[in-house]
Amino acid sequence: MNVRYLTEDDVASLLDVPTAIELLDAACRKQVALEAQNAPRQRVGSNVLSTSPPKVIRMNLLGAALDGRVGHKCYPIGTNGATFWFTLFGSEGEMLALIEADRLGQIRTGAASGLATRVMAREDARVAAIIGTGWQARTQLAAMCAVRPIERAHAWSRSAERVAEFCAQMSATLGIPVEAAATAEDAVRDADVIATMTNASEPVLRGAWLRAGAHVNAAGSNRATASEIDAEVVRRAAVVAVEDVAQAKVESGDLLAAEHDAQAWEWSRAVRLADIVAGKHAGRTAAGDVTLFESLGIGLWDIAAGSYVYDRAIEAGAGTDIAIPFTRRSAS
């Protein structure tokens, strides 16, 4: 059996943010129609006691089923960082592809915020803001600009050097002025659409800073012990969307902190993004609403993007075929 191996460069050549937004939109509609399934992230870890000092190895797993295929993303995290892999299987249980998935994750994470922006932000949004200017922040800003007529953007992070580099690159890429802000508050004060993409443990965005009608994509944290936004953002939000409620109850430090520390949140308020996309729930009810998308990342996004990349690779002859033995056992 041949398995198609695709590198980060292959993924970058076959998938872009606008395409990924449409893939996620279609996946949401299939999820609502019960034609797709998502499994919340699982985390496991182990101490490596044979080393001095002891090390910890962790594994994160996300699985999903879509269009007669199943797949999972896994990313082990060791002392030297993480590696990202997506594995795709066909309807007969055969392995179709092994895909290097760091770039895949960057694109689909940005696309999720783009999709949420499309169904939740004001249609006349003109000003964007981004808090955090790392690698993942690039697709966040690109995705917001792909779905709204953004005319200018502000960026802030703790590193002035990284902010300057980000602004120069994104101004050239998007064709709009992307300017550095002196503070996070300055970045978001007049913003219609905002994304947070940081590894902060304490809030970098405060609800008191938000203008009426703003939409927030909180996309940087998927740990219960970390919060990028304060409870006031959650309290002010007329609509709070999540990708998977079960996963959010375990991972969303933003919502958990608002629930436990400030009594500003209860889970009955949670709306699944897929239900907004499919028209089962409004993304906003008034122009002055503040809206919030709490983005954690789900396996359904990975299989939607990964399956598309595989199909395009087969058409284009991209990637490398690897021959591996395949032994089928009876399901019984």
Q: Which helix (H) or strand (E) holds 70?
A: strand 69-78
What are 246's two structure tokens?
């079960």
Beta bridge partners of 179: 154
Would you say the CATH fold of 121-294 matches that of 2-105+299-323? no
Looking at domain 2-105+299-323, what is its CATH homologous superfamily? ornithine cyclodeaminase, domain 1 (3.30.1780.10)
Instruction: Give me the residues of the chain with pLDDT under 50, please.
Output: none
- What are the extents of the domains in the chain? 2-105+299-323, 121-294
Q: Which of the 8 DSSP states describes residue 220?
A: S
Torsions phi, psi of 57, nearest 5?
-115, 130
CA torsion through residues 88, 94, 96, 97, sign: positive
Listing DSSP states for 290-309 in one string gives EEEEE----HHHHHHHHHHH
What are 122's two structure tokens?
């004001």
CA torsion through residues 112, 115, 117, 121, sign: negative
What pLDDT score was predicted for residue 129?
98
What are 156's two structure tokens?
């802030």
Average pLDDT, rounded, for the chain: 94
Q: What per-residue string of b and e applies to 72-92 under the rule 16 or more CB within 10 Å gives b?
A: bbbbbeeeeeeebebbbbeee
Query: Which CATH code for domain 121-294?
Result: 3.40.50.720
What pLDDT score was predicted for residue 249?
95
Torsion of CA 189, 191, 193, 198, to 10 degrees: -50
Q: Which helix (H) or strand (E) holds 189?
A: none
What pLDDT score was predicted for residue 31?
97
Q: Is the peptide bond before 53 cis (omega within 30 degrees of 0)?
A: yes
Torsions phi, psi of 280, nearest 5?
-85, -15
